[in-house]
Structure 1
Amino acid sequence: MEVLKVINNSFVSAYDTEGKEVVIMGKGIGFGTKPGKKIDEKIIEKIFRIEDSKEGTKFQELLRNLPMEHMRLTSDIIDYAKTKYGKHLNESIYIALTDHINFAIERYHKGMKFVNPLLMEVKQFYKSEYLIGDYAVQLIKKETGILFDESEAASIALHIVNAEYNTKMGEAMKITTMIQEILDKVKECFQFRLDEESLHYSRFVSHVKFLCQRIMKKELLNCMDEKIVEMVKENYPEEYDCSKKIGSFIHDKYDYEVTNEELMYLAIHIKRMRDASLEH
């Protein structure tokens, strides 16, 4: 490959074998070179492929004044998320997470402490993502000597969540809050303890998580025969009444309308979890 553009001493861009622009990382790879010169393959450390041209431009702008060590950290964290947990992440994660880690390190050196208000919710609802965040914190300590606390692990976890579900940070935080609010409403309706280690709880949280994402994206399910909805109302009246209360709460607080079909599915999941709690 030949150099297309020198970004800085540690990064250059080039065309791959398919004629697509890629960013290449390597110690000193951009030093003393220029467009058209052959790239020494022995010093190539990582090749980044950003398909979206606008995202690619942002990525290169971010790299210009970025220490290679910070990009290496991000790359290792993303590779870990993909290989250890099989995460399929939007390519924007390379920009968002690199920028976040770089800024977090800057804040640390300035003595600015950050507390994530959603720490407990992230640990509860996004367990694998939080474990990735914890891995990231340990990796940053190993490579830089900086020890971040759980709040930073949760913040990194939310960036993983964003890249998984194609949401923005504000949306991810709102969804996380909404999940907890829905669980609180279920507790209010039936006054039973939710077993957070049970399979039924895990299934319920997973359903609520995707429901909240559909609410935020305004992609709610709304194509089922109303007769089926009526059947659920008749068979599970208490659970459906609870789901209606949740729908009213979401409408009043967030100004989102929850469809009858979504309320029906929510009632079914509440029923399953409620039945499981009565068995113990």
Structure 2
Amino acid sequence: MRIHKILNNNVLVTLDSVGNEKIITGRGIGFKKKIGDVVDKSLIEKQFSLTSQELLPKFSELLSEIPLEVITVSEIIINYATTSLGQKLQDSIYISLTDHIHYAIERQKQGFFIPNSFLWETKKLYAKEFKIAEYALEIINERLGIKLPEDEAGFITFHIINAQLNDSMSNIITMTKIMREILHIVKYYFKFEYDEESLTYQRFIVHLKFFAHRMLNNNVTKCRDIALLEIIKHQYQQAFLCTQRVAKHLEQHYDHTLTEDETLYLTIHIERLRNELQQIAETG
């Protein structure tokens, strides 16, 4: 393995067997080295082979500017997130999260605080991802000796969601707003309190997340079974009327018309919530 580029004393770029760039990090691995030298494998700490070769130049530039210990912490968090969520995250998170953590630390050192106006919603709507972000704050404190505020866990959560859905940060924020508004409409329509620990509620949250994501990216689906929708309208009348209220809100505020498919599945999820909470009320 020979050196293709030297970014700094701690970061090198090599080429794999098919000519794709691979980033190698390790303390002092590039010290007094030149292009074409053999890499000292004993100094290798991390290797990055991003799926998207288009991201490599940006990632390389980032690694050349950010301390190695921050890069290491970011990778620990990403690996933990991947394991916890059981899915591979978009390569872009190596850039976005590492960059965010670096500047969050710099802001904290300078005493500059950015409040997160979506912190409450983030905790409620993305509970699993938020727990990962809380772990991230613990690792940053443990490894780097910097205690970041809870608001940063909210921002880190957005980076994780972004890497799951491969969407823009502005869309993730708008998506969160849409989810919050739909939850409020359903809650006040039926005048109940959610059981946030129930599986039905968690499924509803997941449905809303992907619904809002599709909506913002104009990736709507068409109804595959109109006959089923007609049955649902009559069988779940209250849930359907609630869905119509949601539809009116989305049309007024986001210029989005619910498709029959979206109406069908939203009604089913709302009915499940309504039925579960009604049973709890009757037995309680």
Alignment gaps of 5+ in structure 2: none
Cα deviation digits, residues 209-252 of structure 1 (max 9, x gap): 11111111211221423222222212222211211111221121
Q: Partners of 2:277 and 2:214 in 1: how far apart?
A: 27
Q: Partners of 1:265 and 1:132 in 2: how far apart?
A: 29
Cα deviation digits, residues 92-149 of structure 1 (max 9, x gap): 1000001101111111122111211111111112122111111111111112221112
Q: Partners of 2:151 and 2:212 in 1: how far apart?
A: 23
- The structure-2 alpha-carbon separation of the partners of 1:7 and 1:194, relative to structure 1 and needing over 3 Å to count, comes to same
| Contact 1:215/1:258, CA 8 A, preserved across alignment | no
Name the counterpart of 1:172. Answer: 172
Deviation (angstroms), 1:154: 1.3
- The structure-2 alpha-carbon separation of the partners of 1:131 and 1:232, relative to structure 1 and needing over 3 Å to count, comes to same
Name the counterpart of 1:252. Answer: 252
- 1:1-280 equivalences under 5 Å are 1-280=1-280
| Contact 2:20/2:53, CA 8 A, preserved across alignment | no
Q: Partners of 1:279 and 1:268 in 2: how far apart?
A: 17
Q: Under a length normalisation based on structure 2, what TM-score does the superposition of the two structures give?
A: 0.95
Deviation (angstroms), 1:257: 2.4
| Contact 2:223/2:259, CA 8 A, preserved across alignment | no
Q: Partners of 1:52 and 1:259 in 2: how far apart?
A: 34
Alignment gaps of 5+ in structure 1: none
Q: How many residues align?
A: 280
Q: Partners of 1:171 and 1:223 in 2: how far apart?
A: 25
Cα deviation digits, residues 32-66 of structure 1 (max 9, x gap): 11111100000100001112222111111112211
Q: Partners of 2:57 and 2:218 in 1: how far apart?
A: 30
> Which residue identity is paired with 1:178?
I
Q: Partners of 1:65 and 1:209 in 2: how far apart?
A: 35
> Which residue identity is paired with 1:6?
I
Q: Under a length normalisation based on structure 1, what TM-score does the superposition of the two structures give?
A: 0.96
Q: Partners of 1:5 and 1:127 in 2: how far apart?
A: 41
Q: Partners of 1:7 and 1:261 in 2: how far apart?
A: 51
Please list every run of at least 4 consecutive aligned residues from structure 1 whose deviation after the TM superposition is greater than 3 angstroms. none
- The structure-2 alpha-carbon separation of the partners of 1:116 and 1:166, relative to structure 1 and needing over 3 Å to count, comes to same
Which moved further from structure 2: 122-131 or 218-227?
A: 218-227
Which moved further from structure 2: 83-92 or 51-60?
A: 83-92
Q: Name the % identity.
A: 38
Which moved further from structure 2: 229-238 or 87-96?
A: 229-238
Deviation (angstroms), 1:27: 0.3
SS at match of 2:14: strand
> Which residue identity is paired with 1:26?
G
Name the Cα RMSD after superposition.
1.3
